[in-house]
Structures are given as structure tokens and as C-alpha cells.
Chains A and B, each alone.
Chain A
């Protein structure tokens, strides 16, 4: 594949080079053609001018001869004629003037006579009356251009003439052939149609010639066809431009008919002169183009090289990566790889993680591997391994370094690598799995026991719940029956209340436990006074202990700080649970004590509190103590069986203590009593802030100094449940408040908006309502723009008393939260706080 790619690359590069070459060639050809056409045109124009000059000279001579002829015809005196001609000679610089007879004899003004052989031109002059121009050469004389015109005829010194003519040396006419445009480098000729040179301005003897066509054929690289073409062109009097090479240099040959006889003006101009500027442009363009191509080629090459390097680097990196990866993997995975030769089972490779996995030192690898092979039975298994077969087995291994026991699964198979028969053995560490399996089995057992405990709890709870429910239903039936008997009604009502509270306690405990297990319990950290806690405990427990003729004392030790930060409610709950249990599980006349010890805490600004709840009650068995903090755990003794409880109190207490970061310990002796010690560290702080009121932040003591009343309040009650609505309304009426009922959030909003300001004193808002829930209704009320919208207290009523619910109520703009079923005293307290009123 790589080879194919390589050849493909080479072909691509070759194609690119060919394409570039062809492009260059086409461009060069195009430019050359343009240059040639341009130059040809330029040269044609120049030499047209030259030909025109030459013809112009001829024409001019003819013209003046005709003029002179007219003058001479009017002269009778030879002297006058001679004088006239002498003047003309001085003015026109001709070499000689000729009176010519039809025989070809001439007579000059000075009396010289001779023969001027005009050949067939004489017939043109004399018979056809046409002017002629000829190139004349005689031995011993310079070559002349003779211009002759037919004369009217006359006599000069007795010589009858029919033609007059003047002659010029060739040298006098050379200037017409000079083309200054080419720095004198152009060779110009006037030739006859057969190439015979009549005039040339070539100073260089080497280029001087008698016959230009012969010269070109012998000196220039012109073949017969080309010279034949030129001959034809000259004969036909055509104009044109051709190119040829001579002595390594290229020339333009431009030819133009003069228009006199068969004379042609021919120019030989070096191409480099004509094309100088165009060539420069072409050269520069080519250079630029080549540079661009070269640069792009270079860039491409660089790019390819870099890409290749990158590729190689990547490959190296890949290899390195794979090596590293393999090394890392092999070091970090639990699988150990062994590569052995099939023939003699020589170890060819072992992954380095064997050191870590098996506690082998690097220098001992070889020897240890042999031992491993032996221990794991590898060789034996490999010997039995057939082609295309793999074998799997497990083995337990003890790490020599750490003594750890690990379980390995071995997989052996044959592999031909680079035509060598090898065997690969993979040792996979399965210890984790093994342990997990074990854990799962343990968890299963635990779940089974928990399930069993739950089942027991349910079984117990069923009884515990059914009992007060039974009382409630029973007493309700009796109420119905004895409705006319106020005493019975009161008795029944009281008992209904007790059963209800008991049932409430059961449900609360169950809910608390489920919250704890769900991890939804959070601490409400506030500032509180520890002495208040003690006082509250005293006020709550004392009546219970008095009822059972028990003694209860509260003592402190140490420097108790004024205020600390913590969850007062939860702390109350802990102490209440412990003290309630102490009361419950101490016989009548027993002793219960609460001791608070305060030390400086291990953390800065913290105080270490130790709460010790002791009693001399029934005590617990050592066996039970092990499970006392387990949910639904109750000692199943005759004495305690009768005592009501959910079996969740201690579990809840333990969870709360754990949540607070404290510890709880128990010491107990069966029949002698128990001691519960709770250790907590709380932060010393300032005054406790007042915040969102919730029912559980309200003081438990029903014997508060202040009485709170709802009398005279007009309350808007939002409650979709008819029964709950009835209860609330009735309770409110009992307290002297009036109320209106709405059944959903939208109705509540509408009613509030439509009510004049001050109509309602507060709103009780259920949360779970159709159309619009309580949160939404509260939000809308707060922004509706009613005069009371910002100030009217809104109290949430919900069965959900989780902290999340409380937070949502706060976020919705509510002022307080009441859980269901509603505690009127708490409610009055909250209302009192919200409205700032006491008993009216």
C-alpha cells in the first residue's frame, strides 16, 4: 500500500512537473508569438519607411530631372546649360549629369563621353517614356545609382540626347538605409529580385555580400525551401518578415518592395535588439513565474516533507505511543503478558507490570517467571495446547512482597508472529471481581436481613399504627353515638387527640428515618443558646418524669459559651429522643439525669459539648447494644415489648449526631440502666438571627409566656381538598378568624386582586393545587400590583415538610411554612410573629 502511495506520489509530481513544463512552454510560445508579431509589425513599418525613403529619393530625382529637362529645353546656349547644370550639381550633390542618346552613349556637361549600358531600361526610357533607376557598376569606378528620365530631346554641344540622367555614388545613398532604431546593428540592403545587392550599409566586410540570398543560404541556417520562398517573395514584390539563425544569433529578415523596377529593401536585424524590451518583459515574467512555481514547488515540497515528517513523527509517536500505551497498559492493567517460543518455551517477552502485580524484582524476573510458569502450570498447559486452540484456567496467587492473595485467570493461545510460532499467555488479575462478588454476596445477605428487619418493622408497625387508628376510628364512632353527652364527647375527644398525636409521632419518626436514609436530611444552622436547650428539655421532660414519679435532674460542667451555632431543632430532637427513651425504659421511681459538659473544642472557636443521659432503668443486653442504632431495632423483652415505639428513634438520633459530626456511645447493663453519651463540637458565635419561620423553629413549649390569637383576622384560604379545607376553616373559626376559601391558585390570585386593599390579613396557601399551584400563585400575588401584594403574609400549608419544600416556599415569596396536619398553637405563633401581634 505504501509502495502504491509512493508511486502515486511520484506520478503526481511528474504530472505536476509536466503540467508546469507544458504551461511554461505554452506561455513561452504564446509570448514568443506575440513578440514576433509585434516585432514583425514594428519592423515592417520601419522598413516600409526605409523603402518609402528609397522610393522617395528616386521619385525626387525623377522629378527634378523632369524639371531640369524643361529648363534645358528652353536653353539654346551650351554654356548656359552647363552653368545651370553646375549649379544643380552643387545643390543636389550628384556625381555626374548625363545627356544620353538612344544608343546608350552619353555626354556629360564637361564634355566627357562614354557608354552607359542601360540594357533593356533604355527601351523603357526611349520607347515607353518611363523613368528608370538603375544600379550601374563599371570596372575601375565606384558603383553608382543612375536616375534617368525620358527627355523632350535636345542637343548639347552637338550631342543629340533623348534621355537625361544623374548619378549618385552608392555611398551617398547609404543614409537612407540607416535605421537608427537598432544602434547601427541592423544590416540594410537594396537588392534586386534575384538577391543581387545594389546598396548596403553594412560596414562589416564579413556581412557584406554580392548576393544576399546566396549569403543567407551559405551563412545562415536557411534551407533551400526558405530561400526559395524568399526568392519568390522578392520576385512577386511582396513584403514580409521571416526569421533565421546565423552564427548562433537569431535575426529578423524584413523585406519591402521599393516600387522601382524589382528593387527590394531588405533588413537583417538581430532579434535581441528588436525584442530587447519584450524579451526583458518575457524574461522577467518567466523568472517570476518560475520563481512562483519553484516557490510553490518548494512550499509543496516543504509541506510534503513536513507532512512526511509529521507522518513519520506520528508514526514514531504512534509506535512510541503504542509502546508507551502498551507499557502503560501493561504496567497499569492487571493483565500480565507472556510471550513464549512454542518450540522450547523460551520466554521472549514478559510485560513489565509483573513486578508490581506479582511483587517480583526486575532482576529476578527471569527466574521468577520460571517459578510462576511452574506454579501456574503454564508449560504443561502450553504443551497440551493444539493449533487454533486456546485454554483458560484460574489460579490463586500470593504476592510475595505484600503477602496479598490474588486470583488470576490465565488464557493461553498459539500465535504466529513474523513466521515464528509463539504462545501467548495472559494472566488476568480477577481479584477485584472476586472481591466484588463476595461483597455482593455480603450485601445480599445484608439486604436480606434488612428486608427481614423491614418486614418485622412493618409487622410491628402495622400493629403500632393500627392501634391508634383503631382508637381514632373507635372513638369517632363513639362520638357519633354519644354526641349528646358532652362529658363523653370531651373524653372521647381527648382520647382521639392522644391517639392522633401518637399516630403523628409514629409517622414523623418513619418520615424522619426515610429522609435520613434518602440522605435528604440537612441541618439548619442557627445561633442558639445552649442553656435554652437545657431549659427546654427540663420543661418537656420534667412533666413526664413527674407523671412516672421519676426524678430528673439537669447539670452542667465547664464553661458553657453564651451562644453557639448549630441545628437547635435537631439537637432538641437528639436530647428528646434520649430523654424520652430514658423515661420510657426506666421504671417508675427511677432516676434520669442530663449532664452537659463543655470543653474547648479541638477546632478553633469551637466548644466541645458532651451530653450524658443516664438512667437506672431496665438497661440493655450486650447483644442488643450492637444493634441499638439499627433502624427498627427494638429489644424484644417482655418488659420492653409493651412499650410503644417505632424502633427508629435511636437510628434517627445516631444519624443526626453523625450529621453533626459528633459521636454517640452507649453503655448499658441489663437491669441497671444505661448511659448515652453524645459528643459534639459547635462553633462559638454571636446572636442568633431571625429568619424564615418554620414550625419546628417555633419553641416547643406550649407554656409560653405569650398567648397568640387569630381572632378578628380575615384569612384567605387556598385549599383544594375539601376535608382539609373544612378542617382549616373550622379551626380558624374556632380561633375567631373569618376566612374565604379558594380551591386553586388562579382563583386565589383573582380573588386577592379583586379584593380591596386590607381585605385579607393573611393567606393560607396549599401547595398542591390544580390549575395553579401554591408557589406560582404566591409569586403572582407578589407581583400583581395590588396594594397589599408585597406585605400580605402568605403561609404555605403542605404535607411536605422537607427542607426543599421550605426553600421553595421562601423562593415563591411566602413568609412561613406549616406542615400538615396543622398545629394550631404553632400556627398562632407563626401568625403572631408574622403579624406582630399577641392576644388581641
Chain B
């Protein structure tokens, strides 16, 4: 090759290499910048605040590279419908009370999981209850709790009464105890779920028959016209309920029995058999005087059944389909939830029954007697539509009170189911400005700040402290019904507690909220940091934990000797540990509880056109891992 040609070749090769290098550089830069831009939080709405303390941190710990925003939602699917209408559907939603019937309005907004591995893991027997009429699956159940009867064996031994093995012996046992002046059976009929479960539990054989399954299929079929009870199965169900009420000598006041009362009665030996879950069996084992034995629902035809319901159901937003990265992240969270370890964590030694084929069944000794029922597939998944809950409570309570006989109860139940609901609920407040549910390093969460500030002013406090899970999301620029206003605050039982604190006490309080303490909730990501109003807290993130750097008032460190009127929003069970730490003498007693639940207070305020506060810069977070999208929102 001539020298000239050699030079040409070398030049060409060098140019090509330069272009390649440049391209790789640009690509890598673009890839890198592409990754940063997508580092957004994946929103997971949990149906209960109880899940925030352990379960949420567990999930976060399994996915340390992911920014997950856990929000306590509502147990009501209407809550998500409202979010869907405002185009603010979370990436993952969970729900405890579920039926295909109730879930219908959301189906179009939920991801079709039919052809996923996750669906494949669910036993067909249970998947049927989550399969739409068109064969699609949007919701997946997690492990199931078992519901049945809990007998105190000690009492049976004490009174030398045979443990029941079927309905007749159950009734005989109840009557035997009655003769002893002890309630044979009692249940917390104050709750709709108890009414629903006992009503269904007594008729499981019928409900699982061909006709029963046919009716259920029709009722749950979103395209079917059936929205009431059938006339083959259900009349008998109410007859059995009536029979049961009579056989167990239920009183009118039983409709007021709540969990606490039942527990008290059971512990005190005032009742021999209660309705309960497998988890409660384990709890009662630790109680002196109770030797719990889990019993199935005894069918009057001799069959024995366990009633089950999943810990919760989970679904994914359909919008994930258009964002491959977010979809992948969401599925990672789902897989953690559905994993054996995740379900075991959720079960927390509750002896739950897995709905998934990839989760091993491990029953503790306490519930080992359930094995045969499981092996015999005597497991019934309750029908848990909102209508059924409401109708069950209404009708069963009335049956207990003697207002309804079987026929009346059937008719009333059926009528209630068939009554069209007025979906056009009254708008009680229209917000003309919306606030995002986005956490900013400099500022905090706008929507939470608005609600916290509004409540602070409403309660007339200098400072308001609230855990992150109090507020359920953005303030939409939309029309709100009363129900939706209430749904902005969770959990349902959230209460407002007020107390005067010194600056120092306030600081310590906030420190516990930020840094966590034994027995107290410990924030595990930026979205789980508390929301405050009236002050600004400076927090630093270090190795996955948070440290309070300072509490500022008008830009200055608060005076430790100054007294501040403080409102704390929380459930008593979560506030009490903090109170005990800070105020060991008084504990929670040193706090004054507002009468109304916070959600009620809030909805009332909003309904009365109360002015919403502007967002405050309540949080300055020093977190190196948050670079983009978490800037300053302060004006």
C-alpha cells in the first residue's frame, strides 16, 4: 500500500473511532441523565395505618434503591375511584374489603394482570374470586386470614363439656354453658364484618354448592344484571342465621358488643366460644386462663368450613403500561409483597393461609388442627362487597334484635342489595386550587402542609405534628363529597391530641417523630417523615436513618423555654408510647383529646368553606440521594 493510501486509511479509522467514542460518551451521558430523571417515587397506598409501622419499612428495606412513597389510603374502593377521577391513581393500591362487584368501576384504570407470573402463582380455586367475567384479573390476594370460632378449651374442661365437633354438638355445648350461666357463644356484632362472616359462615356448604357458586358468579359478574340474592340458597342462609341466633341464645344487646368487650368477656370466662381469626388464637394463647382452640364454622348439614379472607388485595395502575421503568419498579414491589418472605412478614406469626402456590403452608401448633380442613379444601372466601357488609350489619343486627325473621331478613337484604345507589353524591366543597402530593427537600409535601396548616389553625395551635400517613394524598382542584373530604385524613380513627409543650419538649417530641424510638414509628424514607405546621424542622439523612438538626420558628431556632400550643394527630396506640417517653408521669393522659375524629373535623371545616392554609416550608431535608425533582417549592 502506498504511503498516501496508508495515511488515508489511518485517518479514516481514527475518525471512526472518534465518532464511536463520542457517541458512547453522549449515550452514556444521556443514559445517565435518563436514569436520574426517572428516579421518581413509586406510590403505594396501604389500606391501614397499621401497615406503616412494620410492613412498609420491610418493603422499603427489600428495595433500598427505590424511592417508595407509602400513603395510608382507605379501605374503601370509592377512595381510589375519586383519585382515579382526578387522574391521581397511585401506582399500587391495596384494599381489605373487596369484591369484584365493588371493584368494577376501577377495572378500566387497573392493570390487567391476567398474563403475569404473579397471577400464575395464585391457586385457581381462589383466583376465581378475582377473575372478571371477561377472564381478566386486576386484583391479587395476599395470604388469607382464617376466620371461624375460637373455643376456650379450659372452660370446656372446667365445665366438663365436650368440645363441639359439629353443629349439633356446638349447640349442645352452648346450651350446656348457658345452663352454667355462661354464654356459650358471643361475637362482636357491632361490626359489619362479624355480621357478614357469621351470616356466610353458617351457610358455607350452601354457598359453595353449584347453585351457590352460580349465584355468586352471577352477582360478581360485572356484566350481569344480578345484583340481589337468589331464591335457592339465600333464603336458607337466613333461616340458618335465625336458627343460630336462637340456638346460641343471642340477646338484643349483642348488637353493641365490640371487640374489646368480647375480648374482655372471653378473658373473664364469660363466654366459651367467640368468633375470631387464626391470629387471635395465637394472641389468646398468651392470655392466662385461655387455652384457645380454633373451630370451623359448623354447617348444619354436618360440613365444617373455614372462612377466609386475604390480608389485603393489591392492584396496579394501568398508566404504568405507558412507563416501562415505573412498571418495572411497581412489579418489583408487587413481587416483594407476593413473595413467601413478604407474605410471611405480613402474616407476622398469624398462621395465614397462602393463596399463592409459591408460598409454603406452615401452621403453628396452635392451628395445626386446621390442616385437615385445608387439605380437604374446606376453605371459603367471604363475599366482601361494601353492600354486603352494610346489608349484613343491618339485617343481622335486626335479626338479633328480633326485628327480622328469616324471611324478612332475606327480603330486606335482597332489597338493600337491589336498591340503586345514588352515585351522584352531594358536593360539599370545591377546592379551586390543588396541591401536589410531592415531597420537596426544601419545603416538604405541599398537600400535607396545606392540610396540616389548615388543621393547626382550626385547632388554634401554635404547632401541629402529624405522622406522614395521616394525609392520604394531594388536594385536588375538584368537587369533594363529604366522604371524599373525610378520606383525605386517615386512619379513620385518627384523633387530635393537644398539649402545651416547651420548646425543648417540642423538640424532643419531634426528634422521636423523626428519629424514631423503641415502640415508636421510625421513618424509613423521606415520605415517612412527619408533617408539621407552624415550625420548620431541619433533618439530615444518614445511612438510611434521619437525624433532627434543628427546629426553627421564623427562621430561628425555637426557644426552648417558650411554651407552644401543640396539636398531635395520631391514634392513641401510636401516640401513647411517645407520650410515655416524654411525659412519663402523665403519659397520654397529659394530652387533651378532641371529641371528633380528625377526619370528621376536617370534613366539617371544609364543608363550611373553611379556608385552606397556604403550604409552609416545614421541612429542610439534607439528603444526598435526592437530587432531581425534590427541589425547593417554597415561594
Contact = CB atoms under 8 A, between A and B. Distances in A.
A227 B117 CA distance: 14
Chain B CB within 10 Å, residue with most, of A135, A209, A210: A210
Interface in A100-129: 102-105, 112-117, 119-120, 122-123, 126
A138 B116 contact: no
Contact of B205 (A103, A117, A211, A214): A103
B434 interface: no
A119 B357 contact: no
A140 B377 CA distance: 10
Contacts of B303: 105, 115
Nearest to B371: A140
A141 interface: yes
Chain B CB within 10 Å, residue with most, of A114, A116, A123, A143: A114
A575 B118 CA distance: 146
Interface in A374-420: none
Interface in B342-362: 353-355, 357-358, 361
Interface residues of A, number: 37
Contact of A140 (B205, B208, B210, B374): B374
Interface in B330-382: 353-355, 357-358, 361, 371, 374-379
B208 A117 contact: yes
B115 A213 contact: yes
A150 interface: no
A217 B117 CA distance: 10
Interface in B99-148: 114-121, 123-125, 128, 135
Interface in A176-228: 194-197, 209-211, 213-215, 217-218, 227
B325 interface: no
A214 B209 contact: no
A220 to B, nearest CB: 13
Nearest to A194: B114
Nearest to A230: B115
A139 interface: yes
Nearest to A191: B120
A231 interface: yes
A122 B210 contact: yes
A137 interface: yes
A194 B374 contact: no
Contacts of B358: 210
Contacts of B256: none
B125 A104 contact: no
B159 interface: no
B634 interface: no
Interface in B295-318: 303, 305
A267 B128 CA distance: 27
A123 B214 contact: yes
B30 interface: no
Given A104-B210, A209-B120, A211-B120, A115 B115 contact: no
Interface in A128-176: 135-141, 143
A189 to B, nearest CB: 11
Contact of A103 (B118, B210, B217, B354): B210
A210 B123 contact: no
Contacts of A217: 115
A209 B121 CA distance: 9
Contacts of B115: 194-195, 211, 213-214, 217, 227, 231
A210 B117 contact: yes
Given A119-B128, A211-B120, A218-B117, A139 B374 contact: yes
B213 interface: yes
B125 to A, nearest CB: 5
Nearest to A215: B117
Nearest to A210: B120
Contacts of A211: 115-117, 119-120
Given A194-B135, A210-B358, A215-B117, A139 B123 contact: yes
Interface string B30-69: 0000000000000000000000000000000000000000
B117 A214 contact: yes
Nearest to A193: B135
Chain A CB within 10 Å, residue with most, of B115, B213, B357: B115
A138 B114 contact: no
Nearest to B206: A103
Contacts of A112: 376
A119 B120 CA distance: 17
B125 A197 contact: no
Contact of B208 (A115, A123, A138, A227): A115
Main secondary structure of the interface of B (DSSP, over half): mixed
Given A103-B210, A123-B210, A211-B115, A196 B374 contact: no
B498 to A, nearest CB: 49
B209 A102 contact: yes
A757 B374 CA distance: 152
Given A117-B377, A196-B119, A213-B115, A137 B124 contact: yes
Interface string B376-418: 1111000000000000000000000000000000000000000
Interface in A339-386: none
A522 to B, nearest CB: 73
B338 to A, nearest CB: 11
A196 B125 CA distance: 13
A137 B375 contact: no
Contact of B123 (A102, A138, A214, A227): A138
Contacts of B376: 112-115
Contacts of A140: 361, 371, 374-375
Nearest to B122: A210
Interface string B155-188: 0000000000000000000000000000000000
B361 to A, nearest CB: 4
Contacts of B128: 117, 119
A115 B378 contact: yes
Contacts of B361: 139-140
Chain B CB within 10 Å, residue with most, of A122, A138, A139, A213: A139
A218 B205 CA distance: 41
A195 B210 contact: no
Interface string A281-301: 000000000000000000000
Contacts of B377: 114-117, 138
Chain B CB within 10 Å, residue with most, of A102, A196, A213: A196
Interface in B188-209: 205, 208-209
A45 B22 CA distance: 52
Contacts of A214: 115-120
A130 to B, nearest CB: 14
B379 to A, nearest CB: 8
Contacts of A104: 208-210, 213
A119 B213 contact: yes
A386 B190 CA distance: 135
Contacts of B210: 102-104, 122-123, 126
Nearest to B353: A139
Nearest to A218: B117
Contacts of B375: 114, 138, 140-141
Nearest to A135: B124
A694 B591 CA distance: 177
Contacts of A114: 375-378
B427 to A, nearest CB: 40
Nearest to A212: B120
A126 B355 CA distance: 28
Given A113-B376, A196-B124, A217-B115, 20 more contacts: A102-B209, A102-B210, A104-B208, A115-B303, A115-B377, A116-B377, A117-B125, A117-B208, A119-B128, A122-B210, A137-B124, A138-B125, A139-B374, A194-B115, A195-B115, A196-B120, A211-B117, A214-B117, A218-B117, A231-B115
What 4 pairs across the A-B complex have the smallest Cβ distances? A210-B120, A114-B376, A211-B120, A103-B209
21 contacts: A103-B210, A115-B378, A119-B128, A119-B213, A126-B210, A135-B124, A138-B123, A138-B374, A138-B375, A139-B355, A139-B374, A140-B361, A194-B135, A197-B120, A210-B119, A210-B120, A210-B357, A214-B116, A214-B118, A214-B120, A215-B117
